[in-house]
Amino acid sequence: MKVAIITNYWKDSQGGGIKTYLTNLVEGLMNEDGMQVSVLFEEGNDHESFHIRGNKFLFSIQTFFKLINIKPDVVHSHGPWYCLLPGAIYRKLFDSKLFHTFHTEPTEEERLNSIAKGFMQFLVNSADCVTFVSLRLKERIETIWDLRFRNTAITYAGVRINEISYDEINHFREKFGIDRDSIILLAQGMTAHPAKAQGLKLLIQALQQLREKYPNIKIKLIASREGYYVNDTMEFTCRIGMDDVVIFTGDLENPFVPLKICDIYTHISLAEGLPLSMLEAMIFGKPIIATNVGGIPEAIEDGKNGILIDPDVSQIVNAIDYLLINRELSDALGKRARICANSKFTVERCVKKVLDIYLRPYSINETYLHGS
């Protein structure tokens, strides 16, 4: 089976969890017998795949002609409309299947006007099946964009971790000046989207209050230095005098090193699909504090395998304080998070679900209703 993956974010881009989701998915698919996978991408760097340049319309046009050359049996687009458009045209003209996956929850400000809604409905009507990385994301897109789908499925992300050496850990601590007696909080992938960046600012404000409460405790927050909103977040951090607490690491050769050494993983966001970085923290068995938004409650059950809060500074302060005081509970939450992730959010499970969707028979004459 020849599969063409179309995406705006690919390797070495600022795509956060989307690029990791796709990297894991593509690697898993290519390990299956008889699978040939081509990736056509807008942002990133990969000499073994097809880098399509130009504005959104040029991207769609050039991608369509590239599909004609590839002749895939399956086209699987991800993300925005201009990734779906070339697949929709190809699906109309050639004998192939078309699937599209939504990753990001739209905000109220991103509601579609009647023309945009009609165009988007036309595009999703072209797909044999539309998938979402969380059930909550499906519900929000149906509500905010008022779209209807014939066949739908939930394709949770699959995560895997790399090996981490003691040398890597020691080098990381030395490079960023992290003492062994520091309390380390981690927030990954929080500067690629405005809703995430705003949540990160709330977390930094919460740490400002905790530093006043615990002046003798060294607290470090590690955040990535990737994403369109990183400069704004760094300026905010300096402005409120927290630049000695927050460490923006930049691109890391092994991003799992800070996950290994952190005491608490935090994911404070105002909107979400289902954050892959949080799922990776679950695999590591880390205690997690996350906002009760998007698809997060589909992975984190409050008080059982993590703590769910509202995006509010006082609630963030109280949750961190609670875990710092109750270390046995913190460890128990992390252990249960690992069990949950290993049973629900593995790469193998994700690949199997996607393959099942590819192979399922579909009728193009069905009435477009909510699928399952």
* 147-156 pLDDT tens trace: 999 899 999 9
266 and 171 co-located in one domain:
yes
Say if residues 44 and 15 touch (Cβ distance below 8 Å). yes
CA separation for the pair 202, 372 (Å, rounded):
36
Q: What is the pLDDT of residue 229?
A: 87
317 within domain boundaries: yes
Q: Which of 337, 330, 353 is nearest to 152 (CA)?
A: 353
Q: Which of 159, 5, 190, 27 is nearest to 79 (CA)?
A: 5
In a 3-state reduction of DSSP, which class is residue 124? helix
More confident residue, 119 or 14: 119
Least-confidence region, from 17-21, 45-49, 341-345: 17-21
Q: Which residues contact 360 (CB under 8 A, 6 or more apart)?
A: 129
Q: What is the arithmetic mean of pLDDT over 247-275? A: 90
Residue 18 forms part of a structural domain: yes
pLDDT averaged over every residue in the chain: 91
Prediction pTM value: 0.85
pLDDT at 16 over 80: no
Q: Are residues 213 and 274 in the same domain?
A: yes
pLDDT for residue 31: 94
- 151 lies in the same domain as 189: no
Question: Would 369 be classed as within a structural domain?
Answer: no
DSSP, collapsed to helix, strand or coil, labels residue 154 as: strand
Model confidence pLDDT, tens digit, residues 128-178:
999 999 999 999 999 999 999 989 999 999 988 888 999 999 999 999 999
Least confident segment among 32-36, 111-115, 151-155, 160-164: 160-164
What is the average pLDDT across 31-53?
96
Task: Answer yes or no: do 285 and 172 share one domain.
Answer: yes
Mean local confidence (pLDDT), 185-197 = 88
Torsion of CA 323, 161, 25, 186, to 10 degrees: 30
| Residue 60 predicted with pLDDT over 90 | yes
Quick one: 205 and 327 in the same domain? Answer: yes
- Domain residues for the domain of 128 are 2-158+348-359
Residue 272: its pLDDT value, please?
A: 84
Q: Which residues contact residue 108 at a Cβ distance below 8 angstroms, ignoring those fewer than 6 apart? A: 144
Strand ranges, E, within the chain: 2-9, 36-43, 50-51, 74-78, 97-102, 129-132, 152-154, 183-187, 219-223, 246-248, 264-267, 288-291, 307-309
- CB within 8 Å of 140: residues ≥ 6 apart: 105, 106, 294
Question: Which residues sit opposite 220 in a β-bridge?
Answer: 184
- Can you give the pLDDT at residue 369? 35
- Give yes or no: residues 8 and 103 share one domain: yes
Domain assignment of residue 370, yes or no:
no
Contact of 346 with 160, CB cutoff 8 Å: yes
Say yes or no to pLDDT of 258 above 70.
yes
User: Is 366 part of any domain?
Assistant: no
Return the higher-pLDDT residue of 26 and 189: 26
Rg (CA), the chain: 21
Pairing of strands 246-248, 74-78: unpaired
The answer on 137 and 53 residing in a single domain is yes
Asked whether residue 364 is domain-assigned, the answer is no
Q: Is residue 61 a part of any domain in this protein? A: yes
The 3-state DSSP class for residue 149 equals coil
Pair (219, 339) in one structural domain = yes
CA 31 – CA 355 distance, rounded (Å): 12
CA dihedral (207, 287, 10, 96) positive or negative: negative
How does residue 371 score in pLDDT terms, banded at 50, 70 and 90? very low
Rounded to whole angstroms, the Cα distance separating 259 from 32 reads 29
Residue 224 confidence (pLDDT) = 67
- Domain co-membership, 297 together with 178: yes
Which pLDDT score is estimated for 226?
Answer: 66
Tell me, yes or no, whether 184 and 307 share the same domain.
yes
Q: Which pLDDT score is estimated for 363? A: 62
Q: Are residues 144 and 55 in the same domain?
A: yes
Average pLDDT value for residue range 28-43: 96
Distance CA 324, CA 289 (A): 12
Query: In this structure, are residues 144 and 261 in contact, taking their beta carbons and an 8 Å threshold?
Result: no
CATH number for the domain that contains residue 85: 3.40.50.2000
**What tens digit of pLDDT does each residue of 310-359 get?**
999 999 999 999 999 999 999 999 999 999 999 999 999 999 999 999 99
Say yes or no to pLDDT of 364 above 60. no
Q: Do 131 and 253 share a structural domain?
A: no
Q: How many domains does the chain have?
A: 2
**Which of 35-49, 208-222, 241-255 tops mean pLDDT?**
35-49
Structural domain contains residue 105: yes
